[in-house]
Amino acid sequence: MSLSFEKSRILLSRMGAGVALLFYFLSSSRWDATDPAIADILFSVGLIFVAIGSMGRMWSSIYIAGYKDSKLITYGPYSIVRHPLYLFSFIGLLGVGMTTETFTFPIIFLIFFALGYPRVMRAEENKLRKIFGKEYDEYANSVPAFIPNFSIFKEPKEYLMNPTIYRRHIFSALWFIWIVALFELIEGLKETGIVGNLWLLY
């Protein structure tokens, strides 16, 4: 992975986290006060999405740990979608937004993802085409980019991966959970009156 590509991806992720924390710190859910049932549903569904996103990223990381850019991976999640890491990041990001018990944050995150990550995915595909050539073209013609096709799923009976690299991937897959935990800490501070709210958001 090129340095510029990696910097772009990391910068986008950090920007998203920074925006989320800033707005959450200064706002509160209007649903929590007017319709707690909606707030509870949003939070519960958000936790499910966060779990799917985190587990999906860990699942995807199994297949690229030690092989990234040296071997074209076409098994497991990579057999049903070309960008499973970004797909599960998208799901996890929506989940984080929903745990704020608002519709505002998921919409903001959706716009953020739509504006930034298609460019990142195109850059990665161009890089892989340069590395693998016709092999990648054949793969791209048979596997969708972002919407999974479960009918073509395939996985090997055994698979060798690098545990040291995979351990690092696990930590990056858990950042959704860490942000939700931080949101809950901020929520606790709000309830004690230590932190005030500037906005009430739907």
H helices present in the chain, as ranges: 3-26, 30-34, 36-64, 84-98, 104-132, 134-142, 163-173, 175-192
Per-residue pLDDT band at 189 (split at 50, 70, 90)? confident
Q: Which two tokens stand for residue 90?
A: 């998208």
User: For residue range 89-120, what is the model confidence (pLDDT) as tens digits?
Assistant: 999 999 999 999 999 999 988 988 898 888 88
Instruction: Give 55-112 as a DSSP string.
Output: HHHHHHHHHHTTTTTTS---SGGGGT-S-HHHHHHHHHHHHHHHTTT-SHHHHHHHHH
pLDDT at 25 over 70: yes
pLDDT at 23 over 80: no
Cβ atoms of 54 and 93 closer than 8 Å: no
Q: Which two tokens stand for residue 189?
A: 């501070």
Cβ atoms of 136 and 129 closer than 8 Å: yes
- What is the pLDDT averaged over residues 177-187? 86
Using a cut of 0.75, tell me whether the model's pTM lies above it: yes
- What is the pLDDT averaged over residues 169-195? 82
For residue 79, the model assigns a pLDDT of: 97
- Side chain identity, residue 68: K
DSSP state of 200: E
- What is the pLDDT averaged over residues 119-148? 93
- Average pLDDT over the chain reads 86
Any idea which of 20-29, 62-71, 158-167 has the lowest mean pLDDT?
20-29
Cβ atoms of 79 and 155 closer than 8 Å: yes
pLDDT at 178 over 70: yes
For residue 46, the model assigns a pLDDT of: 96
User: For residue range 2-14, what is the model confidence (pLDDT) as tens digits?
Assistant: 445 556 666 766 7
pLDDT at 154 over 90: yes
Q: How do the domains of the chain map onto residue ranges?
A: 3-201
- What is the pLDDT averaged over residues 41-61? 95
